[in-house]
C-alpha cells in the first residue's frame, strides 16, 4: 500500500485536512511530542502530522516521520504569504523550487540562500507537482515557481524588497517550513511536494498580518481541498 505523509505546521492546517478526509477513527499516536494521525483513504495509507512552525521543528519532525514510517512521498500542506503583486488571498502555490530567503553567507562566497557546503535550492518532485497542478485547476488560481522559507513573518516593505532583490523577484510566496522539508526529503531520498494557499499577500503592502489572522482557516481549508483531490 502506498504511504503518503502529510505535514502541517499549525493546528488549523491539520484540522482542515482531518475534516475534509473525514477518516473513520484514525489512529492517533504521539511521536516524541508530535501528534500523528494514521488512516487509510482510497487505498492510500496517510500519516498526518502536526510538525510545528519554523525550520528547526520542521526538520526534526520531518526526519522522525521519514525514519519511523518510511513514506513513499511527503506533502507539506498549509498557508503562505504572496509575494507577487497580481496574487490574491486564497490563491494556491505549488512550487517547483524551494529556497531559504533569510540565509546570507555571501561574505563567504556563497549565494543568497546557500549554506556552506550545501546547495542553494531544492526541487519538488515533478510528477507530484504536475498532478497537484491538474487537481487544482478549477479550485483557485494556481501559481508555480519558487517558494521562500524564512524564520521571520514577512509583513514589512523592506523585507519584501530584500527578498525580491536577492532572488530577482522569482519568489512567489513566503512561509517558514518548506525548505526544511526539502532538505530532509533529499537526505532520505523521498519525493516531496508543497501545497500552499495564500492567507495574506505582503506584496500588497504592510498590515497583512491582519489578513493572516482573518484568512488562515479559509486558506487551510483551500489547501486541504487540493490534497483531497490529489488523493482521489
How many domains, in total, are found in the chain? Answer: 1
Domain that holds residue 203: 2-230
pLDDT tens string 158-190 = 999 999 999 999 999 999 999 999 999 999 999
Q: Contact, 196 vs 223, CB < 8 A? A: yes
CATH number of the domain bearing residue 85: 3.40.50.1580
- Between CA 165 and CA 232 the distance in angstroms is 40
DSSP 39-89: EEETTEEEEEEE--SSHHHHHHHHHHHHHHH--SEEEEEEEEEE-STT--T
pLDDT tens string 96-110 = 999 999 999 999 999
pTM: 0.95
Catalytic residues: 13, 200
pLDDT above 90: residue 149? yes
pLDDT tens string 182-203 = 999 999 999 999 999 999 999 9
Q: Contact, 212 vs 81, CB < 8 A? A: yes
Confidence of residue 24 (pLDDT cuts 50, 70, 90): confident
Amino acid at each position: 500500500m502506498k504511504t503518503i505523509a502529510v505535514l502541517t505546521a499549525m493546528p488549523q492546517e491539520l484540522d482542515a485536512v482531518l475534516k475534509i478526509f473525514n477518516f473513520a477513527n484514525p489512529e492517533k499516536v504521539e511521536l516524541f511530542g508530535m501528534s500523528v494521525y494514521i488512516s487509510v483513504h482510497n487505498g492510500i495509507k496517510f500519516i498526518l502530522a502536526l510538525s510545528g512552525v519554523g525550520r528547526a521543528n520542521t526538520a526534526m519532525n520531518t526526519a522522525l516521520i521519514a525514519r519511523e514510517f518510511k513514506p513513499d512521498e511527503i506533502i507539506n500542506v498549509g498557508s503562505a504569504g504572496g509575494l507577487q503583486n497580481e496574487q490574491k488571498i486564497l490563491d494556491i502555490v505549488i512550487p517547483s523550487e524551494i529556497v531559504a530567503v533569510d540565509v546570507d553567507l555571501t561574505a563567504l562566497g556563497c549565494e543568497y540562500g546557500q549554506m556552506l557546503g550545501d546547495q542553494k535550492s531544492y526541487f519538488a518532485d515533478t510528477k507530484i507537482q504536475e498532478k497537484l497542478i491538474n487537481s487544482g485547476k478549477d479550485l483557485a488560481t494556481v501559481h508555480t515557481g519558487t517558494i521562500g522559507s524564512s524564520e521571520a513573518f514577512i509583513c514589512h516593505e523592506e523585507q519584501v524588497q530584500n527578498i525580491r532583490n536577492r532572488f530577482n523577484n522569482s519568489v512567489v510566496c513566503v512561509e517558514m517550513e518548506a525548505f526544511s522539508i526539502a532538505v530532509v526529503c533529499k537526505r532520505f531520498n523521498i519525493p516531496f511536494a508543497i501545497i500552499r494557499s495564500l492567507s495574506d499577500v505582503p506584496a500588497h503592502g504592510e498590515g497583512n498580518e491582519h489578513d493572516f489572522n482573518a484568512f488562515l482557516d479559509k486558506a487551510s481549508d483551500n489547501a486541504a481541498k487540493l490534497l483531497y483531490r490529489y488523493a482521489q
